[in-house]
Amino acid sequence: MKSCVLMTHVPDTASVIKVAGSATRIEEADIKWIVSPYDEYALEEAIRLKEAKTGSVTVLTFGPERAQQGLRECLARGADAAVHVKGGDALFGDSLAIAKVLAPAIRKTGPFDIVLAGVKGVGSDNALVGAMVAELLGLPHVSSVVKLEVGETGVTAQREIEGGAEVVEAPLPCLITAQKGLNEPRYPSLKGIMASKKVAIQSFAVADLGLDEAALAGPDATCRWTGLSLPPAKSGGVILKGEEDPAGAARELARLLREQAKAI
Amino acid sequence: MACILVFIEQRNGSIRKASLEALSEARRLASGAGWSVCAVVAGHGVAAKAAELGAWGAGRAYVAEEERFARYSSEGYAAVVRAAAEKCAPVAVFMAATALGRDLSGRVAARLGWGCFADVTKLAVDGGTVKAIRPVYSGKALASVDGAGKPVVVTLRPNVFPAESAGGAAEVEPLPVVPAEIRAVVKEILAKEGGELDVAEADVIVTGGRGIKGPENFALIRDLAKVLGAAVGASRAVVDAGWIEHSHQVGQTGKVVSPSLYIACGVSGAIQHLAGMSSSKVIVAINKDPEAPIFKVADYGIVGDLFQVVPALTEEVRKLKAEA
């Protein structure tokens, strides 16, 4: 079973977000970068598949230099090979432009039996790239997967929906996006960290795929961030003391919610 | 005349409320811009419902009526949306940012070669195109997005845009059989026990955090949720501790929500949690620590022991509801 895991390197979820001078991007100065948490579930699932069925795991990212750190981390956890398509800063937030780069990169480094990705990259929060890559590669996909069984010719996946799950069957090759709950990702082992340092990361440029990043960001752009702002800060909440008379505080809160906030 | 095409989602033949919200917003934008609104629905036994979409803003409703469309498939539904888009040449395709919409939108956008604005909370028409504002970094920031002058697919966050009925009937037009290769097939739908309301769709959410001390105490949260008709939410800490399933998690690695009323019980307010709920209209915090960050985003709060305050609040709400 040859699998490909799509990884994106994102600001740590504990980051305080500030707007950069350009007013269309975040200020990156104090940001710690991590493997997007949902990609960790995708990677873990691919490693488990390899352990159960033999095969290999290739992790692929499209991002700036620093994304190599994320690739190293994935190698340390158990990926066998890593591919770095360099660039992407100008395409941030434009999922279709990113998918147009990822699809040929997967083709170039494949073929793969299964492609896995996180359901979304935390940050741009689009949750689109997986389905778009599947469409561009002509593959079926199942998104937001919380349970996965992989057979010889196809998969059975449980996909999270409101109030339950859909059980979906799809033939291989296919693309899966991982939701939290799919598995419990492992930490890198010391042995894994040492071994990962010896792996050569294959890297190439967008131009090597026959694409022009400037055109994708310019005339061919499909979604542009034209502004970025912080939500208005809240203040002046009515905070009641409930230590001594919890029932009284609850009564007052219920009254305020009904009469003032008109929320109940 | 330019038009907005709205994909209408049905489950078991019933039209989802979030789709009517998307349709209503399309009408508001279209009436300002002098555009028309078309709807498209795929399913089996849904044709009768299609005319009703006129009340919510659709002048025309395309219906792809086939047994294999009874259940969702991204490939089948994408073929339906494309067939409708070829008929009416829309400037935008709208759909609700539900589990289905967020899955379908990517495939439809890639198939049409269009961009997609995901999970938007505000829309406007400017210069003949649709522009949007959408929460990013799980709501820590708001991005203004445009489609560089090209048509776009837009998913609209549920519970943000009001659904407004104004009467009227849509002209129903059957979409001829759409050839579509369907490889990923839904075999079964597993409903959660008790048919609990999902946090992503709920208008009121009551959330339990680490302060509830153990999984058994979710009973207190459920009791309050029940009298309010609310969904039960959870912080990451209690999901990671295995006290409740991930589908309840609100925050950066859970669901980002915007209900009318959000009641956080025993939730300290980690930055990842605040990101996921701070766009709620009214926020209530109940916590024994007056310094808990959750109070900084709260409109109302009680500093106190949730084991006393929450049951008392449940009782007070019950009384108010009984009076009404």
What DSSP string runs through A198-217? TSPPEEEEGGGGT--HHHHH
Could you say which DSSP state residue A234 is in?
A: P
What share of chain A has pLDDT > 90, as a percent?
94
Residues A28 and A67 in one domain: yes
Shortest alpha-carbon distance between residue A257 and chain B (Å):
8
Q: For residue A206, count CB atoms less than 10 angstroms from its CB and return exposed for 0-12, middle for 13-18, buried for 19 or more.
A: buried
- Asked if the Cβ–Cβ distance from A162 to B146 is below 8 Å, we say no
In a domain, A225, yes or no: no
In a domain, A119, yes or no: yes
What pairing do the DSSP bridges indicate for beta strands A141-150 and A154-161?
A: antiparallel
Q: For chain A, first and last CA: distance in Å?
A: 54
Dihedral in degrees, nearest 10, Cα atoms A207, A209, A210, A214: -40
| Tokens describing residue B117 | 């604005």
Which residues contact residue B183 at a Cβ distance below 8 angstroms, ignoring those fewer than 6 apart? A140, A170, A171, A174, B75
- Give just the sign of the alpha carbon dihedral A58, A62, A68, A69: negative
d(Cα B199, Cα A84) in Å, to the nearest integer? 37
User: In this predicted structure, what is the pLDDT of residue A8?
Assistant: 98
Instruction: State the best of A161, A167, A182, A244 to mutate against chain B, taking most chain B CBs within 10 Å.
Output: A161
Cα separation, A242 vs B134, whole angstroms: 37
Look at residue B195 in the predicted model and tell me its pLDDT: 66
User: Is the Cβ pair B103, A247 closer than 8 Å?
Assistant: no
Q: Which of B12, B102, B249 to mutate to test the interface with A (most CBs of A within 10 A)?
A: B102
Percent of chain A, pLDDT > 70? 100
Backbone angles phi, psi at A103, to 5 degrees: -60, -50
pLDDT confidence of A241, banded at 50, 70, 90? Answer: very high
Question: Residue B301: is it exposed, middle or buried by C-beta count within 10 angstroms (0-12/13-18/19+)?
Answer: buried
Which value does ipTM take for this structure? 0.94
CA A20/CA A229 separation, integer angstroms: 10
Query: pLDDT tens, A130-140?
Result: 999 999 999 99
Contact indicator for B143, A228 with CB cutoff of 8 Å: yes
CATH number at residue A188: 3.40.50.620
Segments forming the whole domain that contains residue A106: 2-217
* Same domain, yes or no: A239 and A211: no
| Domain assignment of residue A181, yes or no | yes
* Bridge partners of residue B7, in order along the sequence: B40
In this predicted structure, the answer to whether residue A228 has a pLDDT above a threshold of 90 is: yes
Query: Is residue A96 domain-shared with residue A172, that is, in the same domain?
Result: yes
Max CA separation in chain B (angstroms): 62
Residue A9 and residue A119 in one domain: yes
What is the spatial distance between Cα B141 and Cα B250, in angstroms, rounded to a whole number? Answer: 17
Residues A250 and A185 in one domain: no
CA torsion through residues B114, B115, B119, B120, sign? negative
Question: CA-CA distance, A140 to A124, in Å (whole number)?
Answer: 24
The whole-number pLDDT of residue B13 equals 84
Minimum-distance CB partner of A14 among B204, B272, B297: B272
Render each residue's pLDDT in chain B as its tens digit; 324 residues.
799 999 999 988 899 999 999 999 999 999 999 999 999 999 998 988 898 999 999 999 999 999 999 999 999 999 999 999 999 999 999 999 999 999 999 999 999 999 999 999 999 999 899 999 999 998 999 999 999 999 999 999 998 999 999 888 899 999 987 777 899 999 999 987 666 789 988 999 999 999 999 999 999 999 999 999 999 999 999 999 999 999 999 998 899 998 999 999 999 999 999 999 998 999 999 999 999 999 999 999 999 999 999 999 999 999 999 987
Asked if the structure places residue A228 within a domain, the reply is no
What is the structure's pLDDT at B179? 77
Q: What's the pLDDT at A232?
A: 86
For an interface test with B, give the residue of A222, A252, A260 to mutate (most B CBs within 10 A). Answer: A222
Residue A92 DSSP SS3: coil
What residue in A sits closest to B302 (Cα-Cα)?
Answer: A240
**pTM for this one?**
0.94
Residues A252 and A213 in one domain: no
Q: What is the pLDDT of residue B231?
A: 96
Kindly tell me the burial class for residue B88, based on how many C-beta atoms sit within 10 Å of its own C-beta (0-12, 13-18, 19 or more): buried
pLDDT at position A140, please? 98
Number of structural domains, chain A? 2
* Interface contact flag, B74 A131, Cβ < 8 Å: yes
A213 lies in the same domain as A240:
no
Q: What does the pLDDT read at residue B201?
A: 84
Evaluate whether residue A179 is within a structural domain.
Answer: yes
**Pairing mode of beta strands A224-229, B36-43:** unpaired
Q: What is the reported pLDDT for B72?
A: 94
- Tell me whether residue A230 is in a domain: no
For residue A172, the tally of other CB atoms under 10 A from its CB is 16
Q: Rounded to a whole number, what is the distance in Å from the CA of A98 to chain B's nearest CA? A: 11
Task: Tell me the average pLDDT across A56-71.
Answer: 97
Q: Enter the DSSP assignment of B235.
A: -
The answer to the question of residue A227 being in a domain is no
Q: A-chain residues within 8 Å CB-CB of B304?
A: 241-243, 246, 249
Size of interface A-B (CB pairs under 8 A): 303
pLDDT at A22: 86
Partner residue opposite B198 with nearest CB, options A13, A162, A224: A162
CB A81 within 8 A of CB A60: no
Q: Quick check: A253 and B284 CB within 8 A?
A: yes
3-state secondary structure of A25: coil
Give the pLDDT confidence of A42-54 residue by residue, as tens digits. 999 999 999 998 9
How far, in Å, CA of A185 to CA of A177, rounded? 15
Chain B neighbors of A163, CB-CB under 8 A: 191-192, 195-198
Q: What is the mean pLDDT of chain A?
A: 96
